[in-house]
Amino acid sequence: MNHAYKEPLIVQEVAPRDGLQIEKQWVETEDKIALIDGLSTCGFTRIEAGSFVSPKAIPALRDGDAVFNGIRREAGVIYVALVPNVKGAERALAARADELNLVMSASQTHNRANMRMSCESSLAGFGDVVRLVERAASKVALNATVATAFGCPFEGRIDEDRVVSIVRTYREMGIAGITLADTTGMANPRQVARLVTRVLEDVPAADLTLHFHNTRGLGLANVLAAYDAGARRFDAALGGLGGCPFAPGASGNICTEDLVNMCEEMGIPTGVDLQKLIALSRTLPALVGHEVSGQVAKAGRNCDLHPVPE
């Protein structure tokens, strides 16, 4: 346990993308825009605002173009779009996304189930996107995610050498940003410390994002293990939105306000306004039609003291 918690932790808010994509109740485009506009005032520097995937694959996010065109762009905020292929990348560029996030699973089985193609085909498609972005008129950043980096719900354990090798391939292709994703919440802190240490030998901390799910309750413990190992950037979703199709009722992404609360209590700067975040999170149950898994929006901050009972 590192006792010097001075270095900022960067939170990338992903509720509008990884949070909403699994929701059954349709969220109106204007409500998505209002959510993102609200998040833009909370102090985030990065928001994953939507995706440009097939409307058949993810109907909940079929309005990605309208969302990106409707949001108010806050100065200093990078609006990221998830894209599965060059067609999605073209749509994202047209909608003025600041950064494109590509996804491939370390597990071949998971990549076939999720992306309907082999890892080799995914990588070929990434090459097309890299070339598209190189030709683009405006400057667009690239990030690529290694999904199931800490375990696969079909294959089980994932060889760490394979993850390291995929990360190197991404970088060699000209993709600077790297995300290691624990897609179905199988990571543990010991494993996280080990893999993050290895990947940071190849990738500067400023380019590395950790994406944890809280499926088995280990999300924030994994964040701390990664932070202690030198990682500085983390995905999180307001209210802990999101989920896993294989774990009905289980938690989704790590919860942004729970993460920010942990950082505040430990003295780790995030730049995010916790009170605003809690207020925004409390609007989510009405938006998505069910309770959400985040804890701090229910319990309040430590400093929100209670009156002494009579």
Residue in 66, 113, 117, 123 binding a copy of itself, rule: CB under 8 A: 113
Q: Which is nearer to a copy of itself, 199 or 225 (CB)?
A: 225
CB of 298 to a copy of itself, least distance (A): 4
Q: Which is nearer to a copy of itself, 44 or 227 (CB)?
A: 227
Residue 216 binding a copy of itself, by CB under 8 A: yes
Q: Which is nearer to a copy of itself, 64 or 151 (CB)?
A: 151
Task: Tell me the two tokens of residue 229.
Answer: 């190992």
Cβ atoms 13, 237 nearer than 8 A: yes
Catalytic annotation on 244?
Answer: yes
Cα three-residue angle 59-51-234, rounded to 5 degrees: 125
Q: Which is nearer to a copy of itself, 230 or 271 (CB)?
A: 230
**Coil, strand or helix at 52:** coil
Residue 218 binding a copy of itself, by CB under 8 A: yes
Cβ atoms 218, 188 nearer than 8 A: yes
- Restricted to residues 116-155, the positions that interact with a copy of itself (CB under 8 A) are 151, 153-155
Residue 261 binding a copy of itself, by CB under 8 A: yes
CA distances from 172 to 31, 80, 143 (A): 39, 22, 13
Residue in 40, 51, 191, 209 binding a copy of itself, rule: CB under 8 A: 191
Catalytic residue selected from 119, 152, 244, 255: 244
Residue 186 binding a copy of itself, by CB under 8 A: yes
Residue 265 binding a copy of itself, by CB under 8 A: yes
CA distances from 65 to 15, 29, 89, 96 (A): 17, 10, 11, 9
What type of residue sits at position 222?
Answer: N
Residue 202 binding a copy of itself, by CB under 8 A: no
CB of 62 to a copy of itself, least distance (A): 21
Q: Give the containing element (helix H, strand E) for 131.
A: helix 119-135
Torsion of the alpha carbons at 141, 144, 150 and 153, rounded to the nearest 10: 130
Residue in 188, 200, 271, 279 binding a copy of itself, rule: CB under 8 A: 188
Q: Residues 6 or more apart from 83 whose CB is under 8 A from it?
A: 51, 52, 53, 89, 91, 92, 100, 101, 102, 129
Residue 3 binding a copy of itself, by CB under 8 A: yes
Q: Are strands 99-105 and 233-236 parallel, antiparallel or unpaired?
A: unpaired
* 229 half-sphere exposure, CB direction, 13 A CA radius: 24
Residue 189 binding a copy of itself, by CB under 8 A: yes
Catalytic residue list:
244
Question: Which residues of this protein are in contact with a copy of itself, per CB under 8 A?
Answer: 1-3, 5, 109, 112-113, 151, 153-156, 185-186, 188-191, 193-194, 214-221, 223-225, 228-229, 244, 246-251, 255, 258, 261-262, 265-267, 291, 294-296, 298-300, 302-303, 305-309
